[in-house]
Structure 1
Amino acid sequence: MFYWLLRHWVVGPFMTRVFRPWVSGLENIPASGGAIIAGNHLSVIDSFLMPLVLDRRVYFLAKSDYFNGKGLKGRLVRWFFLGVGQLPMDRSGGEKSSQSLGAALEKLQDGQLVGIYPEGTRSPDGKLYRGRTGVARMVLDARVPVIPCVMVDTEKIMPIGKRLPRVGRIGIVFGEPLDFSRYYNLEGDRFVLRSITDEIMVTLNRISDQEYVDMYASSVKSRIDAERRAPAAAPIADPAAR
């Protein structure tokens, strides 16, 4: 009930008027049944804008930090994210990450749409980065098709570090469904997991104009953060000035 109130009466009408999304490929979204919508990730607003153009509800995996805030603000943020269909995703790896993917798997088995960003985090510079194999595990466990989705210009509307979005137009492109049934029963093969993930990323790269970088976005972010924290090098004295 809360989701439909936000979608149709509060957030939806406001955001569609402000950002005027143009959409391509809506016919690729199945009318029923479970499917994974695998997209590029340019801005925090991707998860809010894309579902607005669909008639079906989409459950997104969102980083668990959004659900762990303290105090009144933390409770309000958690309430909002849960209300709009966000599922907490623990990115620390191991058992916690597996449990997070399990919540999404339940939605897929119930015939719902689940959105996931194979890159694992927002692109730090608008480029498309190497995908993580969690999406492939979901594909093989749930046995559902993958709908590639490309967000266009959302990083211009709300860049990393900005608290409020700018007014502007964004685009959303849905590609043709990808069928990975040929890999069913091969869940334990890491080469299969990588092949599925890479095929998804190649498809996203093909229908977008992003430059592809064969590195994890999280590694690039860590490097950028380290460079920002590093002290500036002391200037070299000019001998002639002595």
Structure 2
Amino acid sequence: MGDSAPSVVVGVDGSKAAVAAARWAIDEAVSRDIPLRLVCVIEAPESQRTGDRRLAAARSALQGARRAVEEAGQPAKVETEILWGKPLAGLLEESRSAAMICVGSIGLDHAAHGVGSLSASLAASALCPVAVIRHPTGRRATARVGRVTVQADNAGALRHAFEEARLRQAPLRAIALSGSAGPDDVAKRSAQAQLRRRIARWTRQYPDVRVESAVVRGSVDDYLAAHHGPDQLFVTDARGCYDLCGAHNAGTSVLATRSSNL
């Protein structure tokens, strides 16, 4: 529950995306030496028969996610629990004490029955960082991160990005946006200098992380559309994450951070 000891919480709903989120979350829990808490939130039933079906489905979903975690062979301390209520409200309550919440976007988006994106609403409103993990159709759930990308205009997001790159042993790409039309534009050169200054502190603090930086044209949406990938993790601040965590971004996992939790 929301007043429990810290843990890494995974929202489980029986989908392959949720299994992918559970596998991805293992390293987060093990690195912090805290439990990996698998939670299935189900709405109150209209009848006893409906309630029994929902309970059975929830138990099956939790068993499947737990089995996937155990198959990874890491020393994760796994907890499972079924909670009654609205999925979004239940996970927001979990965020009061969680170190991080991990969800699979496809399953939770489907659970929202087309009314917005539950994963995006969670990422924007939770009291802890939220990882929205993409699971490409037809692929086995994996915890691999091939690259960490961050928009380098927020110190908190930068710190989380460097921590994730170190944890995942993945290269990091720090980007800054520019509206300039040409490579010699004064504004772009200024953006490049500012970008180098922003990441200098973190490259010194994380010398083991391979870092590259780039000033890119257009919006974050444009960049991710052109550089998406199932093994990429994009780290951003929760204030600007709604579209990135929702249906507008179908190709990249997103870690939404909150300044109050840094």
**Could you say which TM-score interval applies, normalised by the shorter chain?**
0.3 to 0.5
Q: TM-score, normalised by structure 1?
A: 0.36
- Pick the structure with more strand per residue: 2
Q: TM-score, normalised by structure 2?
A: 0.34
Larger Cα-atom Rg: 1
